[in-house]
Amino acid sequence: MSKEITSREADYSQWYNDLVLKGGLADYSAVRGCMVIKPYGFTLWENMRDQLDRMFKETGHVNAYFPLFIPKSFLSKEAAHVEGFAKECAVVTHYRLKNDPNGGGVVVDPDAKLEEELIVRPTSETIIWNTYKDWIQSYRDLPLLINQWANVVRWEMRTRLFLRTAEFLWQEGHTAHATKEEAVEETEKMLDVYARFVEEYMAVPVIKGVKTPSERFAGAEDTYCIEALMQDGKALQAGTSHFLGQNFARAFDVKFLTKENKLEYVWATSWGVSTRLIGALVMAHSDDQGLILPPKIAPLQVVIVPIYKGDEQKALIGEKVDEIIKELKALGISVKYDDSDNARPGWKFAEYEMKGVPVRIAIGARDLENKVAEVARRDTKEKQTLPLENLAGQVKNLLDEIQMNMFNKAKSYRDSHITEVNDWAEFERLLDEKGGFLAAHWDGTAETEEAIKEKTKATIRCIPLDNKQEAGTCILTGKPSTQRVLFARAY
């Protein structure tokens, strides 16, 4: 096998890169920090996107498209926002190249300097709220429930495929409401949509919570999040939903006439998930043999590999497989028949294992005689011999079972990695030895939060929604506290 994967134990980080690259999800590009999403990885993204899009539409949202560029001055209109994004943005300063008069190829044409620089959007609150100003006059124009699928750019210094790239794909919802209550409700509703998607489709359990002030989105009054746990014990923020208050409405002067004929600022939310979710998916489920992808979003759900000697056997098997494929497709199952002569069955098995195809069916000449097939599931690697009679129906049930099993396995790992801690030495020890979420008391100050981060690299991932209130003392300072929060090292 040419495609050796580093084991998780040997080097977790290299294992992740191996899976992404060798599993055919993505590739490095010639542009620093930007990746190429390969066809297999992009089909995975399409499946995720299409399902999320359905869920957004079911909850009353429509899609639109806003400009890639944001005038520099817009960014500055919301004070916290510019603070958060100015330090890592791609800046367009010119609109033309010209031939180098000294013969050095093409160079920037100094005569084509923009009057005002344009920022490649790192997020679109500013350009969108500048537009909403024209769209919102009265309460009749509200709520405005708009989503955008787009590429965004944040000039991160240290990048990782999918997890942190300079350019990434995402969706960003931007809604406008007449009341604070309605905006808060929307923020929570979309957090629920994300949680449902990540759990039901990606088979990754999440904890819903709110961020501390220092971890909030730049410009938000409250940031809600879903936090997932990876196999190395590190947390990963899988999606955020922001209650923006009236901050952007004030910054862009967006007021509406209420039913009572008064002019008031509009209330806002924004919420987003990105291709980063693919990184979470890879790290939550996969093993040392390759990707393990949940059936509901896998690019390919079933692969069929024939085991044959000679053209006659191949033709016979092929005939039967055509029937099986027809049945599978009728049940909405995606399937590929790999009867290429380029590789032996063993090589193909390893290849599809690497790519995380949930179910593999192998059929040989003897199987055909016995009217059976060998069916292997990727998640547990169990193989079973199943009758060809109603094979598609059995495979459908198996796919459902795999989906459920993957979630349960991830959940049991996650649940066993939420630990209540009351002692600082224990806190530090557990972070190093076990990882996961540490439920500990915190005195509620940004200073303590920062000090803990400095000492341990652990951050407060969230304050879980409906958190139990209990008296306690801060894990670091011993000051009084009323609830535990979840600490973890994170991606």
- List of residues contacting its own copies (CB under 8 A): 27, 29-31, 34-39, 42-43, 45-46, 62-76, 82, 86-99, 105-106, 108, 117-120, 127, 130-131, 134, 140, 146, 150-151, 153, 155, 167, 169, 342
Of 46 and 322, nearer to its own copies (C-beta) is 46
Of 149 and 413, nearer to its own copies (C-beta) is 149
Tell me the backbone φ, ψ of residue 291, rounded to 5 degrees: -70, 150
Of 99 and 416, nearer to its own copies (C-beta) is 99
CA angle 466/472/444 to nearest 5° reads 70
Question: Comparing C-alpha atoms, which of 323, 339, 338, 335 is closest to residue 390?
Answer: 323
Dump the DSSP string for 103-161. SSSEEE-GGGEEEEEEEEPSS-HHHHHHHHHHH--BGGG--EEEEEEEEEE---SS-BT
**Nearest distance from C-beta of residue 36 to its own copies, angstroms:** 5
Helix or strand (DSSP H, E) at 331: none
Of 86 and 257, nearer to its own copies (C-beta) is 86
In the DSSP assignment, the letter for residue 457 is S
Radius of gyration of the chain (CA): 26
Of 258 and 405, nearer to its own copies (C-beta) is 258
**Nearest distance from C-beta of residue 388 to its own copies, angstroms:** 29
Strands 62-63 vs 144-153: parallel, antiparallel or unpaired: parallel
Of 11 and 27, nearer to its own copies (C-beta) is 27
Burial readout 98-136 (b: 16 or more C-beta within 10 A, e: otherwise): eeeeeeeeeeeeeeeeeeebbbbbbbbbbbbbbbbeeeb
**Nearest distance from C-beta of residue 91 to its own copies, angstroms:** 4
**Nearest distance from C-beta of residue 100 to its own copies, angstroms:** 10
How far is residue 109's CA from residue 99's CA, in Å, rounded to a whole number? 8
**Nearest distance from C-beta of residue 151 to its own copies, angstroms:** 6
**Nearest distance from C-beta of residue 193 to its own copies, angstroms:** 19
- Residue 332: both structure tokens together: 């909405």
**Nearest distance from C-beta of residue 328 to its own copies, angstroms:** 18
Of 1 and 30, nearer to its own copies (C-beta) is 30
Of 42 and 308, nearer to its own copies (C-beta) is 42
Return the residue matching tokens 């160079």.
Answer: 107
* Helix, strand or coil, per DSSP, at residue 67: coil
Measured between alpha carbons, how far is residue 142 from residues 132, 266, 488 in Å? 11, 9, 39
Helix or strand (DSSP H, E) at 198: helix 180-200
**Nearest distance from C-beta of residue 5 to its own copies, angstroms:** 19
